[in-house]
Structure 1
Amino acid sequence: MEKTTLTGRIVRRDDPDYNEARTNINLSLQRYPDIIVFCQNKHDAVNALKWARENNVPFRIRGGRHSYENFSLLNNGLVIDLSEMKKIRVDKDKRLVSIEAGAELGDVYRTLWRYGLTLPAGTIANVGITGLTLGGGIGYLTRSAGLTCDRLLQLEMIIADEKEGAKLITVNRAKHSDLFWASQGGGGGNFGIVTSMMFKAVPISYVTVFSVTWDWDDFDEVFNTWQNWAPFTDNRLTSSIQFWPKEVNRIEALGQFIGTKDELKELLAPLMKAGNPTSGMVKTVPFIRAAAFFNSPGGNEPQKMKRSGSFIEKPLSTRAISALKYYLQHAPNKNASVWQQSLGGAAGRIAPDQTAFYYRNAIIAQEYITNWTSPEEERQNVRWIEGLRTSLSRETMGDYVNWPDIDIRNWLRTYYGGNVDRLRQVKTKYDPENVFRFEQSIPPLRRSPFF
């Protein structure tokens, strides 16, 4: 049999753009692959997988470079990078959108906006749409239109094939329905290489956004008010709240409403009565301006960082709120924070086993965030995140697979809850030899989850 040759834009260690080519979002976890193949089309990706298997070279799949634990990188080996495959095709009448695997969220929003359409998705403009979708996909349309993966209709995926080395298949509710189920929240890189996706878009025009801020002194009242209000208010309203350390003296709630300014002001009344807001804004804007408003500049640039998270099924007790407050009073730096987003609504109308995204009954997604500049600060920051996570674990559950945390021991159950066994069955069927693997990848049934 003729040997496979790598195709696409190939970057090696001695190339001048190697450092830029290998850099991911998390600078505290440096990895040095031997070769990075920037696929220009699906055939380049097929060739890369075949080549890796023929030469027994370990590999990783990479899209938007936003894997918080740099699971899309490795030392030595090959990185199969899809970021230069960015075509987006729209059928306005059918509201269908086909997106190649390397497209970034900002480009997706801008392209769809020209047709008066969008997808319920995230906030960071340069995050990859593929990884976002495969892990679930939450954002400021979650309560009105569901998760990103809920709008998914079809994928093109390259799977490992024992005869040919690699095979391109179409995955939807009719073909390979079990793999389609697993692709709605089962995480990226577990089953194959996604080369494109098709979604059912939602119509969008103007939305109303809000921002409210408070000082630290209002912490308890604001926390309790928001958590008992945000997940239970009108489903057209999705909101977030972020708590910074005491020294920063800032709490901020943001949100997006599919409706008028007057309607939103009425819905906001309970929140505005909490504490003494230091500022407030309610404004009706084109959806694309709202997307720019929510785009977090801090989330776009590579940095030394640690993240983790959890889900909340019922409002936290005063004990848990005090614990969270204590950790923010003893934060390692001013960049540390806790961020929460309201869930429920459309996302909560789907059963936990209907897609691989298990945490449908959660009312809040909660992210623990910190970043730092000098290497000496790393240990303190990581310990802060793990301490915070542990202190809240009695009243929280799981973690969002798109906020991976290498320090979680029982990570399989943590990310996938009651869907673990079914996901491992799908893995066993489509990748029995565990060709697609990384530090926290789903293992086939015959292998230990801690290989």
Structure 2
Amino acid sequence: MKKVKLTGRIVTPEDSDYEKARTNNNLNNPKYPSVIVFCQETKDVVNALKWARENNEPFRIRSGRHSYENFSLLNKGLVIDVSDMNSISIDRSEMTAKIDAGANMGKVYRALWEHGVTIPGGTESSVGVVGLSLGGGIGMLSRPFGLTCDSLIEIELVVADGQEGVRVIKANKQKNNELFWASCGGGGGNFGIVTALTFKLHAIHDVSLFSITWGWDDFEVAFDAWQKWAPYTDKRLTSQIELKTREIGEIVAQGEFIGTAAELKKLLRPLRKTGSPTSIWIKEVPYIQAVEFFDVPSGNLPALRKRSGSFIKRLFPYKAIQTMKDYLVNAPNLNTTIWQQALGGAISEIAPNRTAYYYRDALIAQEYNTSWENPNEEEPNIKWVENLRRALSPYTAGDYVNFPDLLIPDWPTAYYGRNFRRLREVKTKYDPLNVFQFPQSIPPIRKWL
């Protein structure tokens, strides 16, 4: 029987572009794969998976390179990269778009904007649409339109079949519906290699933006006012808040509203009247300018990073707010922040078991972020994130699977809550041999000890 060969754009350690090809967004804990195949079409993905299975070669799947724990890389082994597969086909009459798995959010937003439509997605332009969607997908249109996966209609993916076989299938609410359910929040890389996604589209035109900044002395009152307002305000308004270090001394709330600046100004009254803001502005812009405004360039650049997160289901008491402040007083560097985004709205209108994304009733998603310049600064930065997560754990729930953290001991419950058992059943049906695996992948039932 003829052995399959790798096809597509192949990069190995001997190639001049290997360093660029292997580098992910997080430079911490670097990995050195033996071969990286940049797939150009589904046939290349099929061949890569067949090749890995025939040669008993460990592999990982990669798209946007934003896996915080670098689950999309490995030492030795094969990386199956779909980022060269990035075509976008839009059907304005049906209000749908078929997007290849390698497209990043920047390209998606620009292509859809030309037709006056969008999908609710994340803010960093280099993040891949596929990883974002499979984990749920939160962003600045989450409250009016839901998670990214809530606009998903169908996926096409390459799955393992038998001992060495490979097949291409589709999953939607009618066909392979359990797999489709699992792919709406069950995380990337668990069941197969997604090659294309079809979304329902949302019309979008002008939106209104706001930004309010407070000084350090307003830390407690500014955060408390924001948390009591942001998850409950008009569902057309999604907002975030970033708590910076004492040295920087800023608390910044920003948001995006599908409506006029005059309406937004009225909605913002509780924040505008809180403390002594150092800066307030509100403006109406074409939607694509809002996309550009929230796209933080530093988040798209490779750096030494550590991130973790959690959900807030009950508003923080004063003690939790003070804990955040204390940690930001003792931050390891100026790049350290606590970031939070309001949820609720359309997200909470779907039951926790209707999709694999479990935390439908969460009020806020939060992320603990740090990045550093020198490799010898790794330990204090990682400790800061881990200690903060533990200190806030009495007031928080779980973690968002797109903010993975290897230091979380009970990660299955943290990411998936009560949906974990069903996810394992789907895994057992579609990948019983556990072909698709990484340090925090969902195991089939008979493999779990």
Q: TM-score, normalised by structure 1?
A: 0.99
Q: Which letter does structure 2 place at the counterpart of 1:31?
A: K
**1:233-248 counterparts in 2 under 5 A?**
233-248=233-248
Q: Which letter does structure 2 place at the counterpart of 1:197?
A: L
Q: Separation in 1 of the partners of 2:303 and 2:402?
A: 17
1:57 corresponds in structure 2 to: 57
Structure 1 residue 44, shift from structure 2 partner: 0.1
Structure 1 residue 260, shift from structure 2 partner: 0.6
Q: For residues 65-93 of structure 1, what are the alpha-carbon distances to aligned partners after superposition, in whole Å with 9 as ceiling and x for unaligned? A: 00000000000000000000000000001
Q: Which letter does structure 2 place at the counterpart of 1:181?
A: W
Structure 1 residue 298, shift from structure 2 partner: 1.4
Q: For residues 217-253 of structure 1, what are the alpha-carbon distances to aligned partners after superposition, in whole Å with 9 as ceiling and x for unaligned? A: 0000001000000000000000000001111111111
Q: Secondary structure at the match of 1:333?
A: coil
**1:45-124 counterparts in 2 under 5 A?**
45-124=45-124
Q: Which letter does structure 1 place at the counterpart of 2:344?
A: G
Q: Separation in 1 of the partners of 2:443 and 2:222?
A: 42
Q: Which letter does structure 2 place at the counterpart of 1:18?
A: Y
Structure 1 residue 164, shift from structure 2 partner: 5.7
**1:361-380 counterparts in 2 under 5 A?**
361-380=361-380
Q: Separation in 1 of the partners of 2:201 and 2:378?
A: 41
Is the alpha carbon distance of 1:163 and 1:408 closer, same or farther for their aligned partners in structure 2, counting shifts above 3 Å?
A: closer
Q: Separation in 1 of the partners of 2:266 and 2:323?
A: 32
1:408 corresponds in structure 2 to: 408
Residues 54 and 164 of structure 2 are in contact (CA less than 8 Å); yes or no, is this contact kept in structure 1? no
2:264 corresponds in structure 1 to: 264
Q: Which letter does structure 2 place at the counterpart of 1:233?
A: T
Is 1:158 paired with 2:158?
yes
Q: Which letter does structure 1 place at the counterpart of 2:371?
A: N
List, as ranges, runs of 4+ consecutive aligned residues in structure 1 with deviation greater than 4 Å: none
2:5 corresponds in structure 1 to: 5
Structure 1: unaligned runs, 5 residues or longer: none
2:445 corresponds in structure 1 to: 445
Structure 1 residue 162, shift from structure 2 partner: 1.1
Structure 1 residue 163, shift from structure 2 partner: 6.1
Is 1:346 paired with 2:346?
yes
Q: Separation in 2 of the partners of 1:42 and 1:182?
A: 22
Q: Separation in 1 of the partners of 2:314 and 2:165?
A: 47
Structure 1 residue 274, shift from structure 2 partner: 1.0
Q: For residues 308-331 of structure 1, what are the alpha-carbon distances to aligned partners after superposition, in whole Å with 9 as ceiling and x for unaligned? A: 000001110111111111111110
Aligned-CA RMSD value: 0.7
2:417 corresponds in structure 1 to: 417
Q: Separation in 1 of the partners of 2:8 and 2:425?
A: 33
Q: Which letter does structure 2 place at the counterpart of 1:402?
A: N
Is 1:360 paired with 2:364?
no
Q: Secondary structure at the match of 1:393?
A: helix
Q: Separation in 1 of the partners of 2:290 and 2:414?
A: 32
Q: For residues 33-69 of structure 1, what are the alpha-carbon distances to aligned partners after superposition, in whole Å with 9 as ceiling and x for unaligned? A: 0000000000000000000000000000000000000
Is 1:434 paired with 2:448?
no
Identity of aligned residues (%): 57
Is 1:19 paired with 2:19?
yes
Q: Which letter does structure 2 place at the counterpart of 1:429?
A: K
Residues 53 and 164 of structure 2 are in contact (CA less than 8 Å); yes or no, is this contact kept in structure 1? no
Structure 1 residue 332, shift from structure 2 partner: 0.5
Q: Separation in 1 of the partners of 2:16 and 2:377?
A: 30
Structure 1 residue 448, shift from structure 2 partner: 2.6
Structure 2: unaligned runs, 5 residues or longer: none
Q: Separation in 2 of the partners of 1:258 and 1:26?
A: 33
> How many residues were matched structurally?
449
